[in-house]
Every structure is written in C-alpha cells, then in structure tokens.
A and B are shown apart, each in its own frame.
Chain A
C-alpha cells in the first residue's frame, strides 16, 4: 500500500457509501440487483483488507503445527489438502477439525459474517 491517505479501506467505504446512498436508490431491476452485488463484493474486499493479515498469521501457525513444518500459508494449505485426500490424516483428528472450523469461520468473517450467527 502506498503511504498515502485515505487508505484503501476508506476508499472502498466511500465507494460503498456512494452506491448505497446515491446510485442504488435510482436503479431498478437488473442493474439494481447487480449494483447491490457489487456493493457487497466491495464490502467483502474491505473486510479482507482489515482482517486477512491477522488471520493468515494465525492460520500459518496452526498449519505448521499440523504439518510439522513452516512455509507460506497457501503452500501449507495445499499440502494439508493433499494429505487429507491421501488419507494421511484421520478425519476426526481434533486438531484438524479445530483448524478447519477456524479457517472456515475466518473466511466467513470476511465473506458473509451473518452466516456465523445463523
């Protein structure tokens, strides 16, 4: 991120405010629906900017503990997926279950926080 202001999250907040308060009330039908999807996507990206770095650091530590070695989060996730697929990990392993539950909850905190309270 460049050392400029406003920061990315604030820029996105301004776009959402324009869409919600000014543009969407003037629209109907197809474009109203699409614009609401667009505003939701921007909100998602905004939450990702705020939350993901912290989540990824914790996720990396959990993955390293499960796999027995450190690495980049994406590579560790792929390795975990391969090990589950190969049957190298018991599906009812408590640490594995807890890790997957936490990772899904983290993603939902970004993608659709409402789902977590259903």
Chain B
C-alpha cells in the first residue's frame, strides 16, 4: 500500500525540535560518512505519519556530498491483523538491501551510503546520494527542456526494467513472492475487510481472476516503477526511486504498471505519458532476450487500474477501523476510485 503515500504531498512542517534533529543527523553523517558532517540546506521534501524524506549537503572528509535521508516509523500505523502484510512492504533495512542489489545488477538506483542504527537516534532509515533532476510527472511531460528525454525514456525504461529483472533473488530472500492469483486474492481481502460492494470493482476483480497469466516467468520486480518514482534529466532517466514494495513476481507486471493511465499525468502516450509501448517492449526484448507478450502486459496494466482503485479505497477507509486518523487528504483520495475504474473499462474495451 505504499504507492498511495506518493500522491503529491505539500511540504510538511518540520518537527518542532529542528536543532536537536539537525545535530543528531550531523552526528550520524559524521559517524557513517566522515567527519565533520557539517550540514547545509537541510530541508524536508515529503512527510507523512510513516515516512519522511530529507535533502541536505554534508561536509565529509573535505568534500561536500549531496545526500538524501529517508526514515520510516514502522509503528505509526496500526494495520488490522486481517489485512496486515497482504501486499509487499519492506522495512528500511530491506529497502536498502534491495537498492544495493539493484545497483550491483546495473540499475540506476540510489547509492546507499549508510543504514541508520539505533545509536543514531533517528529511527529506521538510510542515507543515499542525491541525484539531481525532476520527478514531477507534469513537468517532465510539458517542459521543453525534457523534449529529448521524452523521446528516449520508453526505450530507457525497457532497458532498465530488463536490468531490474536480473537482480539476484538470493541477495534479497525476504521479498514477498506473489503471482497474479495471489494478488487478486489479497485485493479481494481489502475489499471484503471494508465491506465494500461496488459493481465496477467486482467487475475488475473478476475480469482479472478469469485471466490469470499461465506459467509466467518469475523475477525480482521493482513493484512501483512509474512516473513520479524516477528522476529525469535532459537526457532521460537518471535514477529509479521508491523500492519499498519490491517483490518477486511476473516481470510483465512492471511493464504494465508503467503504462497505467493514472501515471501518465495527462500525457497522451501510453508509456508514462511520454512514449510508445513498442519502444518499451523492443528495448526490453533487446536487453533481456525475452519476448514480450503485449496481451500479458495489458493484463497487468488493466489489473493495475483495479489495484490502484482499491488502494485509493484502502487509503480512504483506513480511518474507519482506526488504522489511521481521519485526514482530509486521505478522505479525498476515496473520491478518486472512478478514475482508474473507467480507465480499466476503456482499456479492456480497446478504447485506450
């Protein structure tokens, strides 16, 4: 359920005791990356009850390093046992381990400099390098300076996903292994937990259950590879972020998710709003040696619409059983479920 966290947040207020936080961070940087760890330009990029991202520069051993710290507060949400752990969600330590494995596999993932330790007093999290560039989908799709990037990105994404799918699963043995049938069952459980009886959602779940891909390959998946989770520069994709729902599954799932219309941010092209499926598939085939079955990718895109609708419901309903306090932003997300459900209907009727 991590995906819904990445819906655009405004800049959140910093914690009250900024000075003591900064001194803890400086000490952690000095300990893990090198003294003196003096901080510059510390700012909180995103925030929420369970996750925070900080950007800063630090002086370490005579150089100034551009850095990111991500922390998670695992205990903040009390998920009811009936729906806890149904879908993948990594701890900060696992997340960092996946990013390191990804880097070894040739994926442009954030370079993990340090895992936070209890002695740091900053909670669970890690410090990575900061890659300059743009993540906001609408800017990448509209601004003139990304014109060349837009032309190249579908192929780049195919090549990068082929590399993701070569990550050695033995290096990340904690990943949840979920095929399509297991995912349909998991999302079914979310719907039942909140006693939702919605015709369009039932149509989507049954459509997916009737079309489970037979004998898919299995590989390490990013799980949330899409616009918003990639850093883009003028030349194209620079870095793949947000590995916290990495999983084992059908590699075509990652290709389909990238095409889900929600992640096109108003762009007209099917791959992330910027490119064509044929470029994505050709680059993936060239890099992986595996033939892409467009129908199987379409299954994952359409099921992706249904999953996203249910994630929106899950976010919106989480207050109803005390999982999270009622909040404006999450309540508003509930009214977004028809967007992907109509996209689903259009896709399966060939109108997309």
Q: Which residues of A contact B (CB under 8 A)?
A: 29-34, 37-38, 40-41, 44, 77-78, 80-82, 84-85, 87, 91, 96-97, 99-101, 103-105, 107-108, 110-112, 115-116, 118
Contacts of A34 in B (CB 8 A): 10, 328-329
A107–B338 CB distance below 8 A: yes
B332–A40 CB distance below 8 A: yes
Contacts of A116 in B (CB 8 A): 342
Main secondary structure of the interface of B (DSSP, over half): helix
B197–A81 CB distance below 8 A: yes
Q: How far is the CA of A41 from the CA of B328 in the complex (A)?
A: 9
B335–A111 CB distance below 8 A: yes
Among B135-143, B144-152, B200-208, the stretch in contact with A: B200-208
Contacts of A87 in B (CB 8 A): 206
A100–B206 CB distance below 8 A: no
A91–B335 CB distance below 8 A: no
Given contacts A81-B197, A100-B203, A118-B266, contact A91 B345 (CB under 8 A): no
B338–A108 CB distance below 8 A: yes
Residues 1-35 of B at the A interface (beta carbon under 8 Å): 8-13
Q: How far is the CB of A91 from chain B (nearest CB, A)?
A: 6
A41–B331 CB distance below 8 A: yes
Q: How far is the CA of A38 from the CA of B336 in the complex (A)?
A: 15
Is the interface on chain B under 10, 10 to 19, 20 to 34, or 35 or more residues? 20 to 34
Q: Which residues of B contact A (CB under 8 A)?
A: 8-13, 197-203, 205-207, 210, 261, 266, 328-329, 331-332, 335-336, 338-339, 341-342, 345, 349
Given contacts A30-B11, A41-B331, contact A108 B203 (CB under 8 A): no
Q: How far is the CB of B267 from chain A (nearest CB, A)?
A: 10
B10–A32 CB distance below 8 A: yes
B328–A37 CB distance below 8 A: yes
B202–A81 CB distance below 8 A: yes
Q: Which of B197, B199, B202, B329 is A103 in contact with, Cβ under 8 Å?
A: B199
A30–B203 CB distance below 8 A: no
A104–B12 CB distance below 8 A: no
Contacts of B8 in A (CB 8 A): 33
Given contacts A29-B13, A91-B206, contact A81 B341 (CB under 8 A): no
Would you list 26 pairs from A and B whose C-beta atoms are within 8 A, ordered by A residue? A29-B13, A30-B13, A37-B328, A37-B329, A41-B328, A41-B331, A41-B332, A77-B197, A80-B199, A81-B201, A84-B202, A84-B206, A85-B202, A85-B205, A91-B206, A91-B207, A101-B342, A101-B345, A104-B341, A105-B342, A110-B335, A111-B336, A115-B339, A116-B342, A118-B261, A118-B266
Q: How far is the CA of A96 from the CA of B202 in the complex (A)?
A: 12
A115–B10 CB distance below 8 A: no
Q: Which of A40, A84, A112 is B339 in contact with, Cβ under 8 Å?
A: A112
Q: How far is the CA of A82 from the CA of B199 in the complex (A)?
A: 8
Specify the chain A residue showing the minimal Cβ separation from B203.
A84
B342–A115 CB distance below 8 A: yes
Q: How far is the CB of B257 from chain A (nearest CB, A)?
A: 19
Q: How far is the CB of A112 from chain B (nearest CB, A)?
A: 6
B200–A104 CB distance below 8 A: yes
B206–A85 CB distance below 8 A: yes
Q: How far is the CA of A23 from the CA of B194 in the complex (A)?
A: 36
Specify the chain A residue showing the minimal Cβ separation from B327.
A34
Q: How far is the CB of B39 from chain A (nearest CB, A)?
A: 21
Given contacts A34-B328, A37-B329, A100-B345, contact A78 B197 (CB under 8 A): yes
Specify the chain B residue showing the minimal Cβ separation from A100.
B200
Q: How far is the CA of A38 from the CA of B345 in the complex (A)?
A: 30
Specify the chain A residue showing the minimal Cβ separation from B11.
A29
Contacts of A32 in B (CB 8 A): 10
B11–A77 CB distance below 8 A: no
Q: How far is the CA of A77 from the CA of B202 in the complex (A)?
A: 11
Contacts of A29 in B (CB 8 A): 10-13
Q: How far is the CB of A38 from chain B (nearest CB, A)?
A: 6
Contacts of B205 in A (CB 8 A): 85
Q: Which of B13, B199, B266, B341 has the most CB of A within 10 A?
A: B199
A33–B198 CB distance below 8 A: no
A77–B198 CB distance below 8 A: yes
A100–B10 CB distance below 8 A: no
Given contacts A30-B12, A30-B13, A97-B349, contact A111 B206 (CB under 8 A): no
